[in-house]
Structure formats: C-alpha cells, structure tokens
Amino acid sequence: MKPPPFDYVAPPSLDEAVAVLADEDQDSKVLAGGQSLIPLLSLRLAYPDVLVDLGRIDGLGSIEHADDTVVIGAMATQHEAETSHLLHELCPLVPEALANVAHPQIRSRGTVGGSVAHGDPAAELPAVVVALDATVRAVGPNGTRTIAARDLYSGMMTTTLREDEVLTSVEIPTVREGSGSACVEVARRAGDYAMAGAVAQVTVEKGTFADTRLVLFSVSDTPARIDAVERALTGAEAKPEVIARATAAAAEDLDLLADPRVSQDYARHLAEVVARRALTTALERSA
C-alpha cells in the first residue's frame, strides 16, 4: 500500500523542528530512520499532515562517555551503536541487544532514539533502557526535560513523550565492576521480532547477588521489569540453581499479552526460559 499524502520538512535546527511539532494547526510526526514510521504510514495506521525529518540537525548522532554514563545521540544509528567501542567496553548490553534487532540493512537506517521513542514492546532497546535505569532527554517548546526510562513506557507503543517533544539523547549508566549482562531471545527466524526475550544484568559481591535487573520483552504491552525475580535474587547466593528457582516461581504470576500465534502455556514457558538463560549468562559474565 501507499502512504497517505503528507508534507515533509527537514529543518536545520532543533528549535525549528520543535516549532513545527508545536504548531497546533497540523498533526506532525518526527521522522528519524523511518524503519517503523514508514511501514506504519504505508499500512495506513498513521495519518500525519507533516513529517519532521531530524536528519539535517547537527549534533544528534554522537556517542560519548560522560562521567558514569554513555550518552547516545538520538540519531545515532543502531549500527553505529552496535559497533561502538565505547558501548562494547562500558555498556555491553546495548550492542549485544542491538545485534538481535532486525537485519543489518534496517539497523543501518534505524536510530537508537527512534527505537526508544517508538516503544514497541517487542523491541530490544526499550527493554535495555528500562533494565539499566537509563534516562532520556527530550526537548520541547518549554525547554529540556529528563525522563527516567522506567517512566517512559505507559502502554502499548505509548510513551510519556509529548507530541511536540524531540527525544535528543539516551544516557546509559556504565557497567559496574563485578557485573555481567546478557540479552537472550527466541524468534522464529534470525532477524524476526522475538516471541519472547529477556535482558538481564547482575552484580555479584562476595558470592551473592548485590544487584539484579531483569526485563522481559515481547510478553506484555510494555517492557516488563520482573520485580519478583529481582527481589528474590538480590542478597541471595549467586548460583544458577537459585536463578532457576526464582524464574520458575515468577513465571507462574506473569501477566502475558494474548498472542494468537502461541498458547499461554507456551508463552509462559518461553518467558521462563529466556529469563533463566539471560540471568545465568549474566552471572557467568560477572566473574
């Protein structure tokens, strides 16, 4: 199908982009890599009057180390983040998760900010930013604000970003000593969206879990932080069998999204498997 008619602007500055977005006489939408938005338009699931392309605005594509975070500009492509030495060294969960996103062609156009702002519950990056307690920066007509990733996802593909705001960067805390992380997913074919996925990060001190993060994706309408597992593990002996007990117990209580492709029992089984594997691999890597 063809997209509905729309106007297109590519302003050279953030202020001008925000001014177009804030114009109440037209319904406008930010265009980043276009890898989700253009298919949505072609399927006639969105009807914006204007697309505001961020591609000509300088300074939105950098990846930089700042204090105890790595700051990824919204327009950095997923490929740039996946191959960033800085991220491999300081936030290895980000490139690991990105390697599971779609195919190289899509990652070479799709952006980090686009994936985080789109908020697809089956996507890897939203789960990563929630798991790592990242923050995002957004610029709108009233200036800049910082949003904790845990407050960003409010429902199915819905975020707390306002329609006249541009997400400008994502700040990822750098990994602590004694920490390990992993992203594990099950998909029908390499490059497909996951049927179930998990990202985990653990920090081990003196043989016990000092800090545990577990977020499941593709199982509910937002990235799902699994507090029950995090609570059960934190302070417990850092052993695979302890992980297995905690993930099995938590799987019973998961509130799963109805998916016509899989039975609830199978979805629950997959969620348990990816959670256990992600935490176990994170534990092995923490050594």
Ligand X SMILES: Cc1cc2nc3c(=O)[nH]c(=O)nc-3n(C[C@H](O)[C@H](O)[C@H](O)COP(=O)(O)OP(=O)(O)OC[C@H]3O[C@@H](n4cnc5c(N)ncnc54)[C@H](O)[C@@H]3O)c2cc1C
Least Cβ distance, residue 66 to ligand X (angstroms): 19
Determine if 19 is a binding residue for ligand X (CB under 6 A): no
Rg of the chain's alpha carbons, rounded to an integer? Answer: 19
Of positions 17, 30, 41, 279, contacts ligand X by CB under 6 A = 30
Of positions 124, 164, 171, 230, contacts ligand X by CB under 6 A = 124
Least Cβ distance, residue 131 to ligand X (angstroms): 14
The backbone torsions φ and ψ at residue 10, rounded to the nearest 5 degrees and listed phi first, read: -130, 75
Least Cβ distance, residue 175 to ligand X (angstroms): 21
Part of the chain binding ligand X (CB under 6 A), chosen from 12-20, 29-37, 171-179, 264-272: 29-37
Largest CA-CA distance found in the chain, in angstroms, rounded: 61
DSSP string, 90-159: H-THHHHHHTTSS-HHHHHH-BHHHHHHH--TT-HHHHHHHHTT-EEEEEETTEEEEEEGGGTEEETTEE
Determine if 33 is a binding residue for ligand X (CB under 6 A): yes
Least Cβ distance, residue 57 to ligand X (angstroms): 10
Q: Kindly state the tokens that stand for 223.
A: 């990235």
Q: Which is nearer to ligand X, 120 or 133 (CB)?
A: 120
SS3 content of the chain, % helix, strand, coil (to 5): 35, 25, 40
Determine if 61 is a binding residue for ligand X (CB under 6 A): no
Of positions 81, 129, 152, 167, contacts ligand X by CB under 6 A = 167
Part of the chain binding ligand X (CB under 6 A), chosen from 85-93, 121-129, 243-251, 279-287: 121-129
Q: CB neighbours of 161 closer than 8 A, spacing ≥ 6?
A: 117, 138, 147, 152, 167
Query: Of 189-218, which residues contact ligand X (CB under 6 A)?
Result: 193
Determine how many CB atoms are found less than 10 A away from the CB of residue 263: 10
The backbone torsions φ and ψ at residue 147, rounded to the nearest 5 degrees and listed phi first, read: -125, 130
Determine if 113 is a binding residue for ligand X (CB under 6 A): yes
Determine if 36 is a binding residue for ligand X (CB under 6 A): yes
Determine if 254 is a binding residue for ligand X (CB under 6 A): no
* Beta pairing partners, 53: 31
Least Cβ distance, residue 139 to ligand X (angstroms): 9
What is the rounded CA–CA span in Å between residue 94 and residue 172?
A: 9
Q: Which residues bind ligand X (CB under 6 A)?
A: 29-37, 39, 54, 74, 101-102, 106, 110-111, 113-115, 117-118, 120, 123-125, 161, 166-167, 193
